[in-house]
Amino acid sequence: MKTSTAIRAERVSKALGGFPVLDEVSLDVGASEIHALVGLNGAGKTTLMRILLGMLKPDLGSAHLAGASVAGAEAQVWSRVGQMLETPFAYPELTALENVYCSARLHGMSKAVARCASERALSDLGLDQYAARRTGTLSLGNRQRVGLAAALVHGPDVIVLDEPTNALDPRGVIVLRRLLQEACRDRGAAILVSSHHLDEVARMADRISVLHRGRIIGTLRPGTVDLERRFFDLVLQSDMREQEHR
């Protein structure tokens, strides 16, 4: 099931431990689009993604995936979602192949299809030689690749990735960029990617939203000259406005 807007947050607010983390955040991602969410550490990116994936309930506002409210989304919706938040999906005692196979099966693939898809996902991310290795013995970067393979193995229509390039080397970043762009082009996937590395996401994103202190404070156009300076200008202007209103 696809809609023109596959991921949507509407005026989402959330406090954690009594501290406001998100303040009326609205954001949407269309089919065949990569939307990057950028911000400094602590901006609220992961919290927003956890709400979009049903891991947290918003205090106010609502979240939707593939046209369904996250609060009432059924298994059919979740079977078309791929995600990696904070730490990769990877049991250390299982091999890389076993981890990705588990993800494929959890997303409803048959045993035979899951096996082939898992091998292909590992190959796509350059992990063929590590398929039989226990994941706990792999480097941080390769564990990150296993997590990405697990998120993408079932060919999801909706993809939510939190800091997916953090532990990747330059080759891994290029491979991931290609895979996400192919997912958009070939099957119309809607992709939300967060990062605090603006230069990396700018190379793959169609749109960039800036989240700062729990609010969307503006947007950036990929390919714009001196993008990093424009990002910090938005942050500085937001901080100055906040100080003026105190």
Provide the residue-wise pLDDT of the chain in tens; the chain has 246 residues: 344 789 999 999 999 999 999 999 999 999 999 999 999 999 999 999 999 999 999 999 999 999 899 999 999 999 999 999 977 778 999 999 999 999 999 999 999 999 999 999 999 999 999 999 999 999 999 999 999 999 999 999 999 999 999 889 999 999 999 999 999 999 999 999 998 888 888 899 999 999 999 999 999 999 888 899 999 999 999 999 988 876
Q: How far apart, in Å, are the Cα atoms of 215 and each of 25, 171, 187, 209?
A: 6, 33, 31, 10
Residues written for the chain: 246
In a 3-state reduction of DSSP, which class is residue 220?
strand
User: 42 pairs with which residues across the strands?
Assistant: none
Question: CB of 157 within 8 A of CB of 80?
Answer: yes
Please give the model's pTM, rounded to 2 decimal places: 0.94
Residue 95's beta-bridge partner residues?
A: 134
Beta bridge partners of 161: 84, 193
